[in-house]
């Protein structure tokens, strides 16, 4: 498995924990919003910074407020 693939898995799992979701739910959200290619493009930046920076960026890409759990009801539709 490549470092980029390992990082993608790590990011999905830690973002799921951050948002109190299952990894499968986060994967579904990322797929629905075409974020997997975006995350792959951001790999160099994301893996050299604090994960919180990636979380904040992903929240922004999804149109979410930081840590606003209610926003996920809209994203998951």
* Interatomic CA distance for residues 70 and 64, integer angstroms: 9
pTM attached to this predicted model:
0.83
Task: Count the domains in the chain.
Answer: 1
Angle at 22 between CA 30 and CA 61, to 5 degrees: 25
User: Would you state the pLDDT for residue 71?
Assistant: 56
User: Would you state the pLDDT for residue 65?
Assistant: 79
Count other Cβ atoms within 10 Å, centred on residue 67. 12
37-71 pLDDT per residue, tens:
999 999 999 999 999 999 999 999 999 876 655 55
* Token couple for 61: 């890409």
- Domain that includes residue 70, residue range: 3-75
Percent of the chain at pLDDT above 90? 79
């Amino acid at each position: 498995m490549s470092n980029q693939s390992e990082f993608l898995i790590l990011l999905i799992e830690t973002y799921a924990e951050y948002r109190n979701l299952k990894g499968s739910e986060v994967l579904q959200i990322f797929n629905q919003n075409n974020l997997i290619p975006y995350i792959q493009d951001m790999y160099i930046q994301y893996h050299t910074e604090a994960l919180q920076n990636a979380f904040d960026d992903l929240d922004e890409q999804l149109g979410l407020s930081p840590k606003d759990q209610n926003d996920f009801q809209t994203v998951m539709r």
